[in-house]
């Protein structure tokens, strides 16, 4: 599989190798792709994002768009976008007023056609608010989402490197250990079964396929997405054979996601295309070389080593599983 030409594009954090991302590599699978994990904000930046997504075969997006921007994003993307219900995270407060607003937003997103709701329960939520998804403050929101007919997405855990000495989570008395992040996921899986629960970013544990195997065995309503591009590139590249073996066994339990944030902070085609270029090489090829995306958490220079997945596994991840689960019509 050929790569994009080098030394044609300006060097940037998204393109440290000067790749021409418009020269899209040949894909192993022609299946259209459903990106189940994006954050699309209204504004002029949607145009370079849309161009990059089209170039790399993305047919549909699920987006955590702020509710006030949903109409504008829908006007741009039409039926190509599905919303994931979120609260106003920027105003988050552990108050009754905020919880009432969160529940009201769930109902409003349902009116927009949302079928998934997202609970962001990373370790920072423990530090800043003392919360997990099974805390008494959050449980009423879970029950209301269940009553409204939602399926669920949740972020638990974070990159294992962040728990190392000197890392942002080194103080486990504040953040908990990585293992301690998973009780809340198991509680949610048990509590809302048989509703679908998508554990974002490969369940927060791409570093430990054995943990993911145990969770998938125990909870048939669990799915994973492969979002968070730098995280996936860094950690899959450290163990491509192990991740490949895991995905061959669990092809029916993984959805494609990028975690692209489409905001005024990112205005170039290269930024958005870089993430899809990296995913293409990570999953579809045996590429072994430097990653074009800057990553301060990686060994330097950052590496990208691909899994070279077969076409049938790619097609399940890209769209087949989402269609089987009823998240999208067959694409």
Q: Which tens digit of pLDDT belongs to each residue from 197-221?
A: 999 999 999 999 999 999 999 999 9
The answer on pLDDT for 145 being more than 80 is yes
Q: How far is CA 240 from CA 29, 48, 244, 267, 305, in A?
A: 19, 31, 6, 32, 7
Contact of 303 with 289, CB cutoff 8 Å: yes
Report residue 17's pLDDT band, with 50, 70 and 90 as the boundaries: very high
The answer on pLDDT for 2 being more than 90 is no
Q: What pLDDT is stored for residue 45 in this prediction?
A: 97
Other Cβ atoms closer than 10 A to 87? 23
Report residue 1's pLDDT band, with 50, 70 and 90 as the boundaries: very low
Per-residue pLDDT of 102-117, as tens digits, reads 999 999 999 999 999 9
Phi, psi of 155 (to 5 degrees): -105, 115
Query: Alpha-carbon distance 66 to 138, whole Å?
Result: 19
Per-residue pLDDT of 279-291, as tens digits, reads 999 999 999 999 9
Q: Among 104, 1, 82, 70, which Cα is nearest to 38's?
A: 82
Percentage above 90 pLDDT, the chain = 95
Percentage above 70 pLDDT, the chain = 97
Contact of 222 with 212, CB cutoff 8 Å: no
Cα Dmax for the chain: 55
In degrees, rounded to 5, the angle at the alpha carbon of residue 236 between the alpha carbons of residues 326 and 271 is: 75
């Amino acid at each position: 599989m050929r790569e994009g030409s080098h030394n044609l594009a300006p060097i940037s954090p998204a393109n440290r190798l000067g790749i021409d991302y418009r020269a899209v590599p040949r894909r192993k699978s022609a299946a259209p792709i459903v990106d189940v994990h994006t954050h699309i904000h209204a504004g002029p930046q949607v145009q370079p994002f849309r161009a990059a997504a089209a170039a790399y075969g993305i047919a549909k997006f699920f987006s955590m768009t702020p509710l006030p921007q949903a109409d504008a994003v829908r006007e741009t993307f039409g039926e190509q976008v599905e919303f994931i219900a979120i609260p106003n995270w920027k105003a988050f407060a552990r108050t009754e007023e905020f919880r009432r607003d969160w529940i009201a937003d769930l109902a409003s997103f349902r009116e927009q056609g949302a079928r998934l709701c997202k609970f962001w329960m990373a370790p920072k939520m423990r530090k800043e608010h003392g919360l997990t998804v099974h805390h008494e403050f959050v449980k009423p929101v879970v029950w209301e989402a269940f009553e409204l007919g939602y399926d669920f997405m949740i972020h638990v855990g974070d990159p294992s490197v962040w728990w190392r000495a000197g890392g942002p989570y080194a103080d486990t008395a504040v953040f908990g250990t990585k293992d301690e992040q998973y009780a809340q996921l198991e509680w949610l899986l048990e509590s809302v079964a048989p509703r679908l629960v998508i554990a974002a970013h490969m369940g927060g544990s791409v570093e430990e396929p054995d943990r993911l195997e145990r969770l998938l065995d125990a909870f048939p309503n669990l799915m994973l997405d492969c979002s968070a591009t730098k995280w996936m590139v860094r950690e899959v590249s450290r163990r491509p054979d192990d991740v490949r073996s895991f995905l061959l066994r669990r092809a029916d339990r993984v959805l494609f996601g990028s975690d692209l944030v489409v905001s005024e902070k990112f205005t170039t085609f290269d930024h958005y295309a870089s993430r899809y270029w990296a995913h293409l090489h990570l999953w579809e090829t045996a590429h072994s070389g430097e990653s074009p995306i800057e990553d301060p958490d990686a060994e330097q220079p950052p590496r990208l080593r691909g899994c070279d997945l077969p076409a049938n596994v790619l097609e399940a991840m890209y769209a087949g599983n989402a269609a089987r689960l009823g998240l999208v019509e067959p694409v």
